[in-house]
Structures are given as C-alpha cells and as structure tokens.
Structure 1
Amino acid sequence: MTEFKRLTTTTGSPVHDNQNSQTAGQRGPVLLQDFHLIEKLAHFNRERIPERVVHAKGAGAHGVFEVTHDVHHLTKAKFLSEVGKKTPVFIRFSTVAGERGSADTDRDPRGTAIKFYTEDGNYDIVGNNTPVFFIRDPLKFPDFIHTQKRNPQTNLKDPQAIWDFWSLSPEALHQITTLFSNRGTPKGYRHMHMFGSHTFQWISEDGQTVWVKYHFKSEQGIANMRSDEARHMASVDPDFATRDLFEAIDRGQFPAWRLFVQIMPLEDAHSYRFDPFDVTKVWSQKDYPLIPVGRLVLNRNPENYFAEVEQSAFSPANIVPGIGFSPDKMLQGRLFAYADAHRYRVGTNHNALPINQPQSPVHHYQRDGAMRFDGNGGSAINYEPNSANGPKEDGDAKLGNYEVSGAWGSYAYPDDDHYTQAGDLFRLLPPNEQDDLIDNVVNAMRPVTRDVQLRQVEHFKKADIDYGRRVAQGLGLVVEN
C-alpha cells in the first residue's frame, strides 16, 4: 500500500482544504485569513528568479570526467593528478543573447559552463562553443550585450545596433565570421566542441607555470544546421537542443567529449606573433599542438530543472590549486562579473545550494545573508585570526605568478591585426560553407543603413578581398577593390 503523505504548508502545518478558498459565506469575498491561499499565491508570484542577462536559456546534465593521459608534471591540480582518476561534473549549455523563451536554433554562440566537483573544491571552466569572442576588453561588454538585446523604444531585435557596434569594433570580425558560418547554428549541444576560450595558467608541484587553453572535442562529431534548417526547427521545435540532450541521455546514448590542451611556455608570451591573452585570437595548433588530457561523459539528467539547471551558478573565479589566471582583460572582468551576477540573481548564499555546493569540506567565516539555510556557521566564531583553532589559510594553495609592469593607465591591446585570422578562417571553409556564410551575413545586414554596410564591408575586404566583394555584391553595394 502506498504510504499516505499529508499535504502541508511550507512551515509543516497540515492543509485542511486545497480545493476551496476560505470565503465569507458560500458566495462571499475571499478572506485574508486564508493563510494557505496567501502562501500559495505569494510563492507562485516569486517562482521565477530573474533570468540571466546573458545565457538565459539553457539545458544541463550531470556526468563524470576521467583523466586518460598523464599531465601531473604540468599541474598539481588533484583532479588531474593520475590516469584513471574520475571527477563528477555538471554542465550547463546555453544560447547567449536570447531570452528564456527563445529558440534553441537561433544564430548565436553557445555557452558551455562545466563544474568539476573536485576534492579541493569546485573548478569551473566557463566558455563557449567558439575559441574566440567578439571583444577583448570588459569595458565594452555591457554595450555589446545591449546591441544583442531589444531596442529600448520598439522592444524589437535591432540589426542596426548590432552591425553599427560591430562595424566600429573591428576586433569582432573573427567571431563574426565564425558566428555567421554554419557553426553559428549547431545541431544541438551534443554535436559541438567546447572551449575555455581564455588563456589560463597551470602550476606544477614544484611551482613551474605554463599558459594553457582548453579544447573539448565532441566524440559525436560536429553537425550544424544551415539557416533554412535552423529557422524551420525553430518553428516546429524551438526546444530542439534541450530535448535532444535530455532524450539522448535518457535512452543511454551518453554524449562525450575529449579534453585537449594547448600549452605555451611562460616566456613565449613575450614574443608570440599574436598577443596570447587576446580572446579574439587563437593560438596556432602548429605552434602549440593539442595535448590529450581526459574524457568527459554526460550520463545523468537533472531531476528538477529549476533546482539544478536554473539555479546552477558558474564563475571562472572558481579555481583549485594548480590552476591560475592570466592577464587576459576579458577574463579579468569575468572574474568579478560572473559571481556578482549570481549574488544578484540567486542570492549571496548561492554556493550553498546543492547544485553549486562543493563535495569537499567547506570552512569559512562568511555569515548571514538572504536564504542562509545551512546552519550559518552555528555557534563557531566568525572572525580570523582567532585563538580557537578555526580555519586557517593554506600556503600550498598559492596562485602562480606572472610578470606585470608599467604605469597606471587605460591601455589598448598593442595588436590591431583584426583581419589575418578572420581571413584564414574564411579561406579554410569549403566553398559551399563560404556560400552559406556570405548568404547569412547578407541576409542579416539587409535591414542595416548603407553607411554601416559600407563600413562593415571594408572590414570583410581587409580579411579577404573575395569575402568583402561577395558581401558587397549581395547587398547591392559598389565598392572599390
């Protein structure tokens, strides 16, 4: 016999009637004293926490990461310490610019946030399905995202704003070329690569440091949609990627990725042909070949979307011993912005939620704040240093060093070559994918004013003369070669 479960309020009081509100007589007005009704309505009004400003719509899954190749000489991170070591993970995939109700197949980068629950705390790799980004200074990020959102007057998407900003920000060209290729509409989350995008640091047991970039290669293979396929899927199944991921895991067809890294000696950063900390650039794999590290498999769906996917919170500031940062300006900005967004959206105690809580012991002196539900430190003292044998710092967790110098100031990146890598990418595409890229750009730029079209075409021409010529021809523009 099924055990009877008594319906209660959130404070545990039994509910007498869950079908009929309390009223003054059979036809009378509803009474304010109906605390069960008030609680239900009040909680319902607050069921939606603010959606993420970016990466609002997403899907997630649990899995495991296993080390397959020895890299302990490069980093002292314990979860990478030996071949065969396994670490539980949670991944949230997302589109970037759209709202929670947007289509999964919109042309957009895809966010890829990976949380490793290591014995030294949580380590987050927060990146995209592209190895580069549109901008390289965090000061421009709010302005960039404003162009991707809705016009403040019409509340409609605004191609004029998008291309006006991009045409005045030539560093975006590499990512634009990626986005308007068929890689901008991947066929679900399983069929795309994942990248850490930024440059990070690995620190070895003896204190040696190297620069590192992360590449997660899909074992399912790359599969993209052409524009017409993506638009059709948006009309018949706007949740295609979310459904595809969930159903694949549900039927035991677990998606997997192989982790590779590129390693750059610290001193190479001073002489490499591109600034290695510029997130609009990639490192040549001929110069720094991919080194295999491990395998990531997603094998379990969430039990509750809100608790596990919507409340999940990631930040590149969440690191473990053996991992460090770089002077990548966009990374430096994200170290603050991500955690701050979670403090606003979910709450100051978001890291105590089960999906975000480390599986290693947590000891600190932070107290109070909204929604503190874990005992709040109990009767333990809440300051340090102290004489009560409270938690103390661990000297072994010291970050790696890198050299900094110069006077205070607002500096631009010294490298203004925004065109070489974008042109290389264009020429790397097969002819049919070049055709799709040109069509996608032309169709996206048709609503834009002529002055912005002309300005953007000049950037395409500098990357590759045929690239610019074909876009201009598609837009009906007459431009000089």
Structure 2
Amino acid sequence: MSNNQNKQLTTSWGAPVGDNQNSMTAGHRGPTLLQDVHLLEKLAHFNRERVPERVVHAKGAGAHGYFEVTNDLTQYTKAAFLSEVGKKTPMFIRFSTVAGELGSADTVRDPRGFAVKFYTEEGNYDIVGNNTPVFFISDAIKFPDFIHTQKRNPQTHLKDPNAVWDFWSLSPESLHQVTILMSDRGIPATLRHMHGFGSHTFKWTNAEGDGVWIKYHFKTEQGVKNLTADVAAKIAGENPDYHTEDLFNAIEAGDFPAWKLYVQIMPLEDANTYRFDPFDVTKVWSQKDYPLIEVGRMVLNRNPENYFAEVEQATFSPGTLVPGIDVSPDKMLQGRLFAYADAHRYRVGANHQHLPINRPKSEVNSYQRDGQMRFDGNGGKSVNYEPNSFGGPTEVKEHKQASFPVSGIAENVGYDHNDHYTQAGDLYRLMSEEERERLVANIVAAMKPVQRDDIKLRQIGHFYKADPEYGTRIAQGLGLQVPQEV
C-alpha cells in the first residue's frame, strides 16, 4: 500500500473526518443539519476554488526547467545569473493565448504569451513577452480599449470583428503586428515550435555602471512549425487543449523542448539617431544593424505537479528585475510595470510573491507585513520599519539603478517616428507567394464579417500604404476598391 492510502482524512483544520460519504441529517431522510461543519467547509471551499482568471492570457500551460549561460556577456551586464559560462539557473515558463478565456481553444489565431521566471541568487527575474517581436499598440493608455475589442461585445456577449477592425483601422501602428498575426505564424503548431521575444527594449548595466539597450529573442531548437486555419479549426473542435497536452506529453516522454536565448545590443547613444524609435514596441530593430548575440540555452524538463498551484497561481511582471537589468522609456513597458503586478495583487493577493511557485530561491528580507493569506511567519517579532537601529535589513547602495538623463516638457505625445507602414511592407515583401496567399486569405476571412464598408476601406488603405499589392489583394478579396485618396 502507498503512503497516501495509510493517511487519515482530516478537515482543513486537521481534525480527523469520521464520514466523508454521508452528510449529517435530522433523522434518516433529513433535512441536513447546519452543524455538519465538515460539509459546510467542503461546500464553502468548493465555491471559492477559482481565483479570478487573468483578464488577458487566461488560458495557459507551464513547465519547469533551467537556463544555462553559453556566452560571456559580463561586459554588458552585472546580472549574477549571467556571470559565467556554464552557470545554470532554475526557471519556470508559462505559455498562453491572449484573448480567450480559461476554457477557450488552444489553436485560435492569437499571439502567444511567453513568460519566463528565473529564480536567480539575487531574486527573481521575469521576462514577460510574446511569440512576436512587436505589439499592436505603442502606449499603455490604449491597452484597455484594445483588449475590450478582443473580448466580447457588451450586448451580444459574442466576439466582435466590427470592434476588432474598427480599432485596428483607427490605430495604424497595429499594422505590423496584424500582418504577423494573420500570417502563417498566427497559429503555432505547438508551444514548442515557436520563438519567444521580450518584445520591449530593456537596459543592461555592467559592473562599471555603463549601459546598453537590448532586445531578447528566444529561438526554438525544435524549428518553427505552424497550423493552417482549417487544420487549427478542426483541432479546436476535437481537442481544444491540444497545445497544453502536447507540451505536457513531450516533457513527460523526456523530449525536453529547448530555446537558445539571444540579444540584440544597441549603444545608448544610437537611440537618438536610429531610423525608428527603438523604444516603440510596434517596431523591430534590423538584425543587419544589431545582430543577434547568443546568451544561453533554456531547457524545459519538468511538468508541474499541480496545475493550479504552479501555473494558475504563477505571477509574472516585467518589473520583477535584478541588478544589472533595467527598463527603457518604452511607453507600453512603462504601463506594464504597474499593471501586471497590480493584476496579481487583485487576482491572487498582496502576498502572491510568497507562494511557492513565485517565491525567490534567495532569501527575502523586506518590511512588508500583513495582508490576506499571509501564510509564513509574517516577519515574526522583528522590526517592521526602516530606518531603524535594531539591526533590520538595509539598502545595498551598489545596486542602485543606473542614472539616466531626462529632458523636455511634460505632455501627452506619441513617438516621433510615425511611420507605421515600412516594416509591415518589408515583412509582406519577405514572404513567398504561397505565404502571401495565405495571409490575404486569412485577412479577408477575418474582415468579411465586418458590417461597415467604411471600416473595411480604412483598413485596406493601411495595407495599401504598406505595399500596394498587399492592399489591392485584400480589397479584391472583399469585393471593394482601394480608396482613391490612398
């Protein structure tokens, strides 16, 4: 017999349970007695088993693994987990779709979240990215509006292509990401067969305090594979958890997926002269200008033991930083620094960082106390304020973030470079004729349900400005003419 079979069943407060099959009743037929506290506790806990699902990235799968450094980049960053070749750091990753709810299908056309937590000796470090190098919008102030268009219509409670294309057609900065989303890469074959990106620009700082701008690229060692729209739709109906199952089964079988991590590195001064604003997340840096430099290798080799504890309760924020890694003025990133951690405080609780999946491997010494579900010693009798003269933890001045210059007038402005068409057009022209055919077919199918021609025509204008052939083929597919003013 296993140990589990020998253990006695208890209540949540540790008392042995005498009968877990029959509730206590007044007489043989009942009614049920309010004093059956074991029944009440079971039902009350059951009612509260679901924490609120994530507003975005609700459907996801996760796995444990390690990151190994393969290249010495200490001249660029003092981050301890990158300090020597061969160094291994435990990590956890969560893949997800963006728009769908917890029960939605894995094989929908949607970006995929790619969130990595490194348990470093200096605390946790999160890279919270996607499987695309760009995003739909460049300023966090537009994010709630954008996500509303991806969710459900307030009257019909149905997905709303009118809202989707109305917003995109009025937000031309989305064109680059829309082109990626509607291309072959819009539906990965599995979570193992896609790249990952930090997407934003970040700053690395070395031991001397010198900095560079960087972008992260996780390149899959399994190769990139995608699904056609018809195959994806078939799988969505037959096995909506296809990607979740594939990842679990691959790791369980010892077929451990791996990614090589690369960075692009830009000297700080180049940000003032580059032909696109390097902080605009709707734009990429040309790899001809800033080639990929290998950093290390990520391997996923262990499945979660409990989905809720390790995947659903996992919390990631781009503000979870370690010394040697800082942020950039990217307007989307700046908003995410607040929004992600705030979402976790609401969804999981103020003490979410104390949960085993989120708890750092390094020692935590802070003056934060109390709050719902504080399940450790809560700091015991130690001093709970700073500065103090009782030997409490103190700041480490050498780990101050590097200073950076700021200038100008405080005002509501966009990025200086408002060319939203060149990179989308370049991407279109890089595609083979077969890839272009599928891209056009995907866009036409997605836009046909839009009820207003003015929305369709406005979006066609953006495609045309990126590449005349691109816009013309979309227009023809929708039975419309490219607007004369374009």
TM-score (structure 2 length as normaliser):
0.98
The Cα shift of 1:411 comes to: 1.1
* Selected match of 2:455 from 430, 446, 452: 452
Mark the CA change 1:2 to 1:178 in structure 2 (over 3 Å): closer, same or farther: closer
**1:90 partnered with 2:92:** yes
Q: Which residue of 2 aligns with 1:253?
A: 255
What amino acid is the match of 2:48? R
Q: Which residue of 1 aligns with 2:289?
A: 287
Gaps of 5+ in 2: none
* Mapping for residues 226-305 of structure 1, pairs under 5 Å: 226-305=228-307
User: Whole-Å Cα distance in 2 between the matches of residues 432 and 45 of structure 1?
Assistant: 51
SS class of match (1:211): strand
* Selected match of 2:441 from 439, 442, 446: 439
Query: How far does the alpha carbon of each residue in 1:352-402 deviate from its partner, in whole angstroms, 9 at most, with x for none?
Result: 000000000000000000000011000001000000110000112111233
* Selected match of 1:15 from 14, 17, 23: 17
The Cα shift of 1:2 comes to: 4.2
SS class of match (1:413): coil
Query: How far does the alpha carbon of each residue in 1:178-234 deviate from its partner, in whole angstroms, 9 at most, with x for none?
Result: 000011100111000000000000000111000000000000000001111111111
Gaps of 5+ in 1: none
* Mapping for residues 118-133 of structure 1, pairs under 5 Å: 118-133=120-135
Aligned length: 481
What amino acid is the match of 2:479? G
User: Whole-Å Cα distance in 1 between the matches of residues 262 and 166 of structure 2?
Assistant: 37
* Selected match of 2:182 from 166, 170, 180: 180
SS class of match (1:14): coil
Quote the RMSD (CA, aligned, Å): 0.7
User: Whole-Å Cα distance in 1 between the matches of residues 461 and 230 of structure 2?
Assistant: 28
The Cα shift of 1:430 comes to: 1.1
The Cα shift of 1:99 comes to: 0.4
* Mapping for residues 77-476 of structure 1, pairs under 5 Å: 77-448=79-450, 449-476=452-479
User: Whole-Å Cα distance in 1 between the matches of residues 306 and 427 of structure 2?
Assistant: 41
User: Whole-Å Cα distance in 2 between the matches of residues 403 and 186 of structure 1?
Assistant: 41
Query: How far does the alpha carbon of each residue in 1:408-441 deviate from its partner, in whole angstroms, 9 at most, with x for none?
Result: 1111111110000000001111111110000000
User: Whole-Å Cα distance in 2 between the matches of residues 195 and 361 of structure 1?
Assistant: 29
* Selected match of 1:47 from 44, 49, 54: 49
What amino acid is the match of 1:360? S
Query: How far does the alpha carbon of each residue in 1:285-310 deviate from its partner, in whole angstroms, 9 at most, with x for none?
Result: 00000001100000000000000000
Give the conservation status (yes or no) of the 8 Å contact 1:218–1:257.
Answer: yes
Query: How far does the alpha carbon of each residue in 1:72-125 deviate from its partner, in whole angstroms, 9 at most, with x for none?
Result: 111000000000000000000000000011110000000000000000000000
What amino acid is the match of 2:294? P
What amino acid is the match of 2:399? A
The Cα shift of 1:404 comes to: 1.2
Following TM superposition, the consecutive aligned residue runs of length 4 or more in structure 1 with deviations greater than 3 angstroms are none
User: Whole-Å Cα distance in 1 between the matches of residues 400 and 265 of structure 2?
Assistant: 21
User: Whole-Å Cα distance in 1 between the matches of residues 257 and 158 of structure 2?
Assistant: 36
What amino acid is the match of 1:50? P
Percent identity of the aligned residues? 70
Give the conservation status (yes or no) of the 8 Å contact 1:89–1:114.
Answer: yes
